[in-house]
């Protein structure tokens, strides 16, 4: 499988879409999209631009670099009716841009490492985000009392006294197997349609590209 095909598959997985849904979002046939993902057919420039936009990565990354899940940060839906706010202050050293009456708050990253850090942070659950922020703050202040994130996470799991962690984990696994039912999960069609519409809005917000 080519680098491009792997990246296309990863973007779809990160968006949590099926191949059929992704084909609908990109406005291509189902079999055509399957061939893109299998590396059996070259995608046109317009489709490649949409894919890079959906994954929030550059077109160069999509085509030449095998990206990981930490590189993919799906873009938020931008409403077409929102006017571009007036710029008040720009500070590239701090990665800050201040707007007059902005519709929402956004962060600007200076390099790929900052983008990777923000992407990973946004994928954490709320509890782990708090632990991460507290640990970083202690490290920056020069405090030696901040334990590693891994030990903090384990401490939360093993907080209750009683049986060893291994027995509790084993019991949890058994209960999960009992609850599971064979067959496909029930899909909420209304939520699925809303998701497709939101992703379509992202692709439609891209300016028309002409290749000469």
DSSP three-state, residue 100: strand
Task: Give the residue extent of every domain in the chain.
Answer: 3-76+195-204, 112-161
DSSP three-state, residue 89: strand
d(CA 115, CA 108): 9
Of 68, 4, 66, nearest to 35 by C-alpha is: 4
Of 131, 175, 164, 168, nearest to 149 by C-alpha is: 131
3-76+195-204 domain in CATH 1.10.260?
yes
| Model pLDDT for residues 45-55, shown as the tens digit of each residue | 999 999 988 88
d(CA 113, CA 178): 42
Record the tokens describing residue 36, joined without a space: 């893109």
pLDDT at 158: 46
Lowest mean pLDDT among 125-134, 136-145, 163-172, 199-208: 163-172
By the 8 A CB rule, do 6 and 66 touch? Answer: yes
d(CA 196, CA 18): 11
| Model pLDDT for residues 184-206, shown as the tens digit of each residue | 566 777 777 777 877 877 777 66
CA distances in angstroms from 192 to 80, 134, 199, 201, listed in the order given? 21, 36, 11, 14
In terms of pTM, does the model score above 0.75? no
């Amino acid at each position: 499988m080519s680098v491009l095909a792997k990246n296309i598959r990863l973007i779809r997985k990160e968006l949590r879409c099926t191949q059929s849904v992704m084909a609908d979002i990109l406005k291509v046939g189902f079999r055509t999209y399957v061939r893109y993902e299998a590396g059996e057919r070259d995608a046109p420039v317009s489709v490649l631009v949409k894919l890079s936009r959906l994954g929030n990565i550059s077109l160069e990354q999509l085509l030449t670099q095998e990206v990981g899940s930490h590189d993919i940060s799906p873009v938020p839906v931008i409403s077409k009716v929102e006017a571009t706010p007036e710029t008040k202050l720009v500070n590239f050293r701090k990665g800050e841009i201040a707007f007059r009456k902005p519709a929402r708050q956004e962060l600007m990253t200076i390099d790929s490492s900052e983008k990777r850090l923000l992407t990973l942070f946004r994928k954490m659950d709320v509890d782990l985000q708090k632990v991460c922020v507290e640990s970083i703050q202690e490290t920056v202040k020069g405090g030696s009392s901040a334990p590693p994130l891994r030990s903090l996470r384990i401490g939360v799991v093993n907080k209750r006294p009683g049986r060893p962690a291994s027995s509790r984990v084993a019991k949890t696994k058994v209960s999960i197997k009992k609850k599971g039912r064979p067959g496909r999960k029930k899909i909420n069609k209304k939520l699925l349609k809303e998701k497709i519409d939101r992703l379509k809005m992202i692709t439609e917000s891209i300016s028309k590209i002409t290749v000469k």
